[in-house]
Structure 1
Amino acid sequence: MNPDRKKQQTRPGNRLLPSPLPLWGLAGASFKAEHLNAILADGSMRGFFEVHAENYMGAGGPPHRSLERIRREHPLSLHGVCMSIGGPQPLDQAHLRRFRALVQRYEPELVSEHLAWSTHQSIFFNDLLPLPYTKSTLDLVCSHIDHMQEAIGRRILLENPSTYVAFSSSTLGETDFLRAVVQRTGCGLLLDINNVFVSATNHGNSALDYLASFPLDSVGEIHLAGHAEQTDDEGELLLIDSHDGPVADAVWKLYATIILRSGPLPTLIEWDSKIPDWPILRAEAAAAQVILDRALDGNGMAEHAA
C-alpha cells in the first residue's frame, strides 16, 4: 500500500488531483432514492454513498433534491457506467459535459468508470462489454482516459470488468493491461472483487492468482456485490454479475485477504436490482466496515488513516 498516492498526477496538464484518502477506512453503499427517508431517519451513517452518474444527468427534479440531501451529510463517490472508455469512437462530448457538470456540482471524493465499451456509432448497448487486451486497445483506452481526466479536471479510477468471453487476439493479461494504463495516464484503479470472482469462475482461472498480480498500490476503491448462478449451454456453471443480492461468502473471503495486503481501502457495496429495504443494505456495508476496522486496528494500519 502506498500512502503517497495523493501525489500522483495526470499526464495532461500535469495537474495535481484529489486523493482518495478522505474515505480511507470507510465502507459505503449504493444510494437509492427509495431509501432516502430511512437513511435520514437512521441519522448520519459513518460511511459514504455512491451513485451512478447517468441517473443524475438531468438539470433538476426529485433525483437531485434527494442526492443534495445525502451530500450534505455524507461523502460521495460518482460512478460512471456509460462513458464507453474502450469504445472505438471518440468519447461522446455531450455525455462528457454532463459528467463534468456533475463533478463540479457535487464535488465527489471519488470518480470512477469501467474498462469496457457500450457504444458503436449511434447505437448504445445496455451492457459493459469486454475488450481484447492488445497494444492498439491500450492506446485507445489511454487516449480516452487522458481526454476524460483533462475534461473533468480529476483523476479517475478505472474498474476491472466482469467477463464471460475471452479474446484469442489478446496479447496482454488483464492485470498487465491495467498496470500499463495506470503508468501511462496517471489514473487509479477500482478493484471490483466480485468481478474478479465472476470472471475467474467463468474462465476456469484462479481468483487468488489474479489478485496476486493486481497492482494494489493503484487502487483507490473496492467494490463488492452479489452475483447470480446459471448454467451455460453445456451445463457448466456460469456466474452473472447481477448486483441483485448479498455478497457471496467466497467474495467476502477474497476481500478479507486483500484488505490484509492493501490496508483498509474505501469499500462500496453495490446492489442495483431487486433492491432490499435499507437495513439489509446497511448491514452489508456494516460487515465490510468490520473488516476495515480490524485492518485499521492491527498491523500498524492505523498510521495510514491520519
Structure 2
Amino acid sequence: MSVQQPLPIPAQAGIGLRSHHYREILEEPPPVAWMEAHPENYFGEGGAPLRILERIRGSYPLSFHGVGLSLGSTDPIDSTHLRKLKALLDRFQPTFVSEHLSWSSVDGRFFNDLLPLPYTEESLDLVCAKIDEIQTELQRSMLIENVTRYLTWRDSTIPEGEFMAEVVRRTGCGILLDLNNVYVNAVNFHLDPVKFLDAIPPDAVQEIHLAGFDRIGRWLVDTHGQPVYPEVWSLYEWALHHFGPRPTLIEWDTNLPPLAVLVEQATHADAMLGARHATTV
C-alpha cells in the first residue's frame, strides 16, 4: 500500500534501522523521532523486510540513505538500481533520500567500499551530471554525504568543502553532513574541521550524522561500531551553533549494541538540540 505524502522529519534525533532490532522496535517502538534505512536492503519485490518497513513507516518518518549509486564513478548510472530506488521512494515517500559523495565501481565491478574522489574540475563535472540525472529520474532532490578517506589524491585542486558547495550550487541538491567523517579526516590528515564546515552552505545542510570510530595504529577508522566520541559531540555542538538545529541520526552498523544504547545516544543528541532550540527562540 502506497504512502501518499512524506512525513516531515523534525530537528530531532533518529536512529538507523537495522534488522538486528526489528523485533524489539515492532514490539515496543522506541522514543525516537525518526528512522533511517538503507534502501538497497528493501529492493526485493516482497517478503518480510518490506512488510516490516511498512509497519515502521506507519509510526515514524523515514530517511533513505543509499550506498550503491557510485556517484563518482565513470561508469554510467545503473538503470536497474535507479528504477528499484524510484519504486521504493514512490511506495514509502521518505522525507530525504541521500547518497555518498564517493565511487565504488569500475567497468561494472563493485568494491565493498566507498572510495574518495579526487577533488578536481573533471570530477565536479562528472558528479554534477550524475546528480542531475538521478534527480530528474527520481523527480526529487537528493542529499550528498561527505565520506571518510584514508588517502589523498595528488590531482586534487579544490578543497573538499568548496567542492561540495559547488555541487550544491550547480545541482540544487542538499547535504547530509557526517560530523564523525569530518572529525576522522581532520585527525588523520591534520586538517582543521572548522575550515571544512565554514565552506558548507548552511541552508544546504538538511541532515546530520553522528557515529563512532575505532583507532587502528595511528589511524582513526570510521567503523560505526562505537558510541559517539566526546570530540565528535563537541564538533556537533559547534555545528548546531553554526548551522542551527537539524535532524540528527545516530549511525551504528557494526558491533551492534542493544537498542537501548542507540536510544540513549539519540536522547543525548536531543538534549543538545533542545538546548540549541531554546537559545534561538
Alpha carbon RMSD of aligned pairs, Å?
1.5
Residue of 126, 136, 147 corresponding to 1:161? 147
For 1:30 and 1:24, locate their aligned partners in 2 and report how far apart those are by CA, in whole Å.
16
Question: Take 2:70 and 2:227, find their aligned partners in 1: how far apart are those partners?
Answer: 28
Tell whether the 8 Å contact from 2:148 to 2:222 is kept in structure 1 after alignment: yes
Deviations 1:261-285 (A, max 9, x none): 2211000111011111110111111
Which residue is equivalent to 1:194?
Answer: 180
Q: CA deviation at 1:45?
A: 2.7
The count of corresponding residues between Structure 1 and Structure 2 is 277
Q: Which residue of structure 1 lines up, in the alignment, with residue 64 of structure 2?
A: 78
- TM-score computed with the length of structure 2 as normaliser: 0.95
**Residue in structure 1 matched with residue 87 of structure 2 by the alignment:** 101
How far 1:229 sits from its partner (Å)? 0.4
CA distance in 1, matches of 2:54, 2:18: 13
Residue in 2 aligned with 1:292? 273
Q: Distance in 2 between matches of 1:125 and 1:32?
A: 22
- Runs of at least 5 residues in structure 1 that lack an aligned partner in the other structure: 1-17, 232-236, 301-306
How many percent of aligned residue pairs carry the same amino acid? 44
Work out which of the residue numbers 55, 58, 62 in structure 2 matches 1:69.
55
What is the CA distance between 1:299 and its match in structure 2?
2.4
When structure 1 is superposed on structure 2, of 166-175 and 209-218 the one drifting more is: 209-218
Q: Give, as a single letter, the amino acid of the residue that structure 2 aligns with 1:129.
A: L
Q: Is the 8 A contact 2:209 2:250 kept in 1?
A: yes
Unaligned runs of 5+ in 2: none
1:1-306 pair list within 5 angstroms:
22-43=8-29, 45-231=31-217, 237-300=218-281
Distance apart, 1:122 and its partner CA: 2.3
User: Is the 1:111–1:157 Cα contact (8 Å) retained in structure 2?
Assistant: yes
Separation in structure 2 between the aligned mates of residue 130 and residue 43 of structure 1, nearest angstrom: 37
Secondary structure in 2 matching 1:23: coil
Which runs of at least 4 in structure 1 moved beyond 4 Å after TM superposition? none
Tell me the distance in 2 between the aligned counterparts of 1:255 and 1:19.
27
With over 3 angstroms needed to count, the CA separation of the structure-2 counterparts of 1:135 and 1:19, relative to structure 1, is farther
1:57 corresponds to which letter in structure 2? F
Distance in 2, matches of 1:277 and 1:57, equals 26
The Cα of 1:42 is off from its aligned counterpart by 3.2
Please say if residues 33 and 66 of structure 1, whose CA atoms lie closer than 8 Å, have aligned partners that are also in contact: no
Q: Distance in 2 between matches of 1:284 and 1:255?
A: 13
User: How far does the alpha carbon of each residue in 1:211-267 deviate from its partner, in whole angstroms, 9 at most, with x for none?
Assistant: 222222210100001111011xxxxx2011101111111000000111112211000
Please tell me whether the aligned partners of residues 45 and 74 of structure 1 are also in contact (alpha carbons under 8 angstroms). no
Q: Is the 2:6–2:93 Cα contact (8 Å) retained in structure 1? A: no
Task: Show CA shifts across 1:195-224 (max 9, x none).
Answer: 000111111112222222222221010000
Instruction: State the shift of 1:153 in Å.
Output: 1.0
Per mean C-alpha deviation after superposition, the further-off stretch among 39-48 and 113-122 is 39-48
Contact 2:161/2:196 (<8 A) preserved: yes
| CA-CA distance at 1:44 after TM superposition | 5.7
One-letter identity of the residue aligned with 1:242: T
The answer (yes or no) to whether the contact 1:191–1:222 under 8 Å persists in 2 is yes
